[in-house]
A and B are shown apart, each in its own frame.
Chain A
Amino acid sequence: MSVWDELVGQQEAIDVFRAASQSELASATSHDSAMTHSWLVTGPPGSGRSNLAYAFAASLLCRNGGCGTCGDCKQVAARTHPDLAMLTTERVIISIDEVRALVQSSQYSPAVSRYRVIVIEDADRMAERTSNVLLKALEEPPERTVWILCAPSEADLIPTIRSRVRSVRLRVPSVPDVAELIVTRDGVDAVTAERAARHAQSHIGMAHRLATNPDAAARREETVRLVLGIMTVREAVLAAARMIEIATDDAKAITEERDGVELEQLRRSMGIAEGDAIPSNLRSQVKGLEEQQKRRATRSLRDGLDRILVDLLSVYRDVLRLQLGVSDELINVEFESELRAAASARSSEDTLATMEAIGVARERIDANVAPALAMEALLIRASRSEVPA
């Protein structure tokens, strides 16, 4: 057993990291060493960027090069290793103060292991000002510090960061690979696993959720059914409202439970019994937590909408394939007859315009446009079957 076991379909990347962790530390003069001090892991969402980053971290911190069983490896898995620092965000962006603190801690030498490892998940969620704080630390870290950044693509980072890191690209794992992982890891039957992997378009986390959570699968099915049923503007507006509801439910399912647990923990650590009033001098703490949870809910709703947009994109991808006369490898095989009807009711230009509109909707949601409005505009565009002059 080793830390690399659960990573699907990324053999090339694993080989690079394995070689790096086994080689000696790169000296300042040798440029051909397998090891360097700043890494960037890029790959599409769900390909396992952060998992790979933590596996690499474990192999650097572990005495046996990533055995997966020793104390070091277990501490990395629990994210409690003293020489592992990480930055991940559940909000929309990473704040500059968080990064400053991290840069400062990067100057300490490792406490127990060979290296001090710093992982930044979601490095794409840093504003440019925040990224600049990292530059110096990335370029010349202390001898035993290793930075690992994760981002969907190199283009998400500013050029001055890109030029300071060694980049490792991940592939999209194939549907059978993901399905197999889900069968072995979660014990789901092969049919469900295949469908979940296909619907999630090889996004491992998403496939896991679709395979194990029937509500999530039902919500996805409803989304697809909704978009295929839109004929009029009225239906488009009603469908948009319903999709926002779906996204909200989806987001709530993820956050609500955690919110309650966190509040309970905070009360316990402040020594307040169940049902007691919170003293006024501690109220700011609770306020702070609530504020944080609210920000997380914003991000969570956006993620929910993003999943819906990805699902919509998969539908129009299928429609376009059918229009172009390719009928194998459909993502939404379950809806084949509806997809065929949609394909014959419109031209491929319409479909492409709709896919374009999905991109626009995503940009608008990012730019803080009211989600309902962005979705309405998108679905109205989708309901139209002629390209405007």
Chain B
Amino acid sequence: MAGKAKIAIEQLSWNNAKPAPIVLVSGAEGFLADRAIQNIREILKASDASLEVSDLDASSYAPGELLTLASPSLFGEPRLIRVSDVEKCNDEFLLEMLDYAESPDSDTTVVLRHGGGVRGKKLLDTLRSGTGGAVEIVCAELKSDNDKFDFAGNEFRLAGRKIAPSALRSLVQAFSGSGSELANACQQLIADADGDITDRTVEDYYGGRIEATAFKVVDSAVAGRLGDSLVTLRHALQSGADPVPIVATFAAKLRLMAKLYGERRGSGELAGALGAAPWQIDRARKDLSGWSETGLGNAIEVIAQTDANVKGASRDPIYALERMVNVVASYGKR
């Protein structure tokens, strides 16, 4: 947060959410934010069952809405106002929210969901400087596997369930693509599985699911493992990879290999000239075993044809891909 306005308010992580007159839920990870907002609602509901919950969309806000929802009612029940899309808020919302922050109602909790971006920066800065007694819940994206590991472990701990570390690891690996899928998978295991969760349970529920990338397909294909590469290709396609980038990955790999064919200089020396990292060069060198010059040439020609095919020259892009994998995995023999 260096260089930005000073933050004078309490910053909480998503799993320690607690109510305050104004709660700012910031950060890009949507499902963490949802979880945090849900927690707040549950805490408030537990303290007073007559809680009145209302939702606002800051991007289509009409003047006066906030005040109408936040003003005290006859029976004085506490209220929770959840405002979504603050990162796209209109000017009316901005003005009225700034006004409201000057004198927030003590029985009302306003939850502002800001998904990142510069819109509404003045509001964020005002809240962060301490006006209105706000707290901020930071929902930063789960990037590293470590973060995801912690997150998933936390899910099970919160639910009071035990999971074996190795089971947790394979679960995180199976859902390395998206955080929300991982969260859903955790919830499903918590809800459906009985007793402690072991390797066996995870295998039963999510076995065989592999998050395959185009790189994995290429690696097994250039090593001549046809079966492996066809299976990973299917996995990659099923988990949302598009044919065009897959072909591009193949092209990049074979291009580098062709440039290294018969090249004797060291990888450090070549790195600059070929625009690739030394480890990539070493890797491609290793991959060259089993390849002949004609084979490389054939493979590149087939990849070029496949690129045309997946871009509309043939009816079935998947077949074109499989044919390409076939040729590459047989070291370019047609």
Q: List chain A positions with a Cβ less than 8 A from chain B.
A: 232-234, 236-238, 363-364, 367-370, 372-374, 376-377, 380-381, 383-384
Alpha-carbon distance between A232 and B303 when the two chains are bound, in angstroms: 18
Known contacts A364-B308, A380-B297; is A233 also within 8 Å of B261 by CB? Answer: yes
CA distance A377 to B258 in the complex (A): 12
Nearest-Cβ distance from residue B261 to partner chain A, whole angstroms: 5
What are 20 A-B residue pairs whose CB atoms fall within 8 Å in the complex? A233-B300, A238-B259, A363-B308, A364-B307, A367-B308, A367-B311, A367-B313, A369-B307, A369-B308, A369-B311, A372-B255, A373-B251, A373-B300, A376-B258, A376-B300, A377-B300, A377-B304, A380-B300, A380-B301, A383-B297
Residue of A nearest to B263 (CB): A234
Indicate which residue in A234, A236, A363 contacts B262 across the interface (CB closer than 8 Å). Answer: A234
Chain B: CB-nearest residue to A364: B308
Check if B141 is an interface residue, CB within 8 A of chain A: no
Cα–Cα, bound, A232→B251 (Å)? 18
CB atoms of A236 and B297 under 8 A apart: yes
Chain B nearest CB, measured from A377 CB (Å) = 4
B262 and chain A: residue at smallest CB distance: A234
CB contact between A373 and one of B262, B304, B313 (< 8 Å): that residue:
B304
Tell me whether B248 is interfacial, beta carbon within 8 Å: yes
Please state if A237 and B248 are interface contacts (CB–CB under 8 Å). Answer: no
CB distance from B84 to the nearest CB of A (A): 24
Contact indicator B263/A237 (Cβ below 8 Å): no
Check B111 for interface membership: any CB of A closer than 8 A: no
In Å, the complex CA distance between A139 and B196 comes to 81
Nearest CB of A to B157, in Å: 46
* Chain B residues, Cβ within 8 Å of A233: 258, 261, 293-294, 296-297, 300
- Shortest CB-to-CB span from A362 to chain B, Å, is 12
Please measure, in the bound complex, the distance between the C-alpha atom of A377 and the C-alpha atom of B251, giving whole angstroms: 11
Q: A232-B261, A233-B293, A368-B311 are in contact. List 14 more A-B contacts (CB 8 A).
A: A232-B262, A233-B261, A234-B260, A234-B263, A236-B258, A236-B297, A238-B259, A367-B308, A369-B308, A370-B307, A376-B255, A376-B304, A377-B304, A383-B297
- B266 to chain A minimum Cβ distance, whole angstroms, is 17
B312 touches A (CB below 8 Å): yes
A369 partner residues in chain B, CB cutoff 8 A: 304, 307-308, 311
Q: Is B307 a contact partner of A381 (Cβ separation < 8 A)?
A: no
B258 touches A373 (CB 8 A): no
Q: Are B305 and A377 in contact (CB under 8 A)?
A: yes
Residues of A within 8 A of B261 (CB): 232-234
Chain A residue, CB-CB nearest to B304: A377
In the complex the two chains form, what is the Cα distance from A233 to B256 in whole Å?
A: 12
Query: If A370-B251, A383-B297, A384-B297 touch, does A237 touch B259 (CB 8 Å cutoff)?
Result: yes
In the assembled complex, the CB of B280 is this many whole angstroms from the nearest CB of chain A, namely 15
Give chain B nearest CB distance to A122 CB in angstroms.
Answer: 23
Q: Which residue of A lies closest to B273 (CB)?
A: A238
Tell me which residues across on chain A come within 8 A of B305, comparing CB atoms: 377
Minimum Cβ distance to chain B for residue A105 (Å): 35
Chain B neighbourhood of A384, CB < 8 A? 297
CA distance A237 to B256 in the complex (A): 9
In the assembled complex, the CB of B170 is this many whole angstroms from the nearest CB of chain A, namely 37
Compute how far the CA of A192 lies from the CA of B101 in the bound complex, rounded to whole angstroms: 77
- What chain A residues lie within 8 Å of B293 (beta carbons)? 232-234
Q: Which residues of B contact A234 (CB under 8 A)?
A: 258-263, 293
Residues of chain B contacted by A363 (CB below 8 angstroms): 308
Chain A positions within 8 Å of B296 at CB level: 233
Partner of B307, one of A232, A237, A373, A383: A373
A238 to B263, CA, bound (A): 12
Return the chain B residue nearest A365 by Cβ: B308
A119 and B55 alpha carbons, distance in the complex (Å): 58
Those of B89-113 within 8 Å (CB) of chain A: none
Q: Contacts of A373 on B, CB cut-off 8 Å? A: 251, 300, 303-304, 307
Min C-beta distance of B172 to chain A, whole Å? 35
How far in angstroms is the closest Cβ of chain A from B235? 24
Known A232-B262, A233-B293, A369-B311: A377·B301 in contact at CB below 8 Å = yes
Complex Cα spacing A384 to B293, Å:
11
What's the Cα separation between A232 and B297 when bound, in Å?
9
A361 vs chain B, min Cβ distance (A): 8
Q: In the complex, are the beta carbons of A237 and B304 less than 8 A apart?
A: no
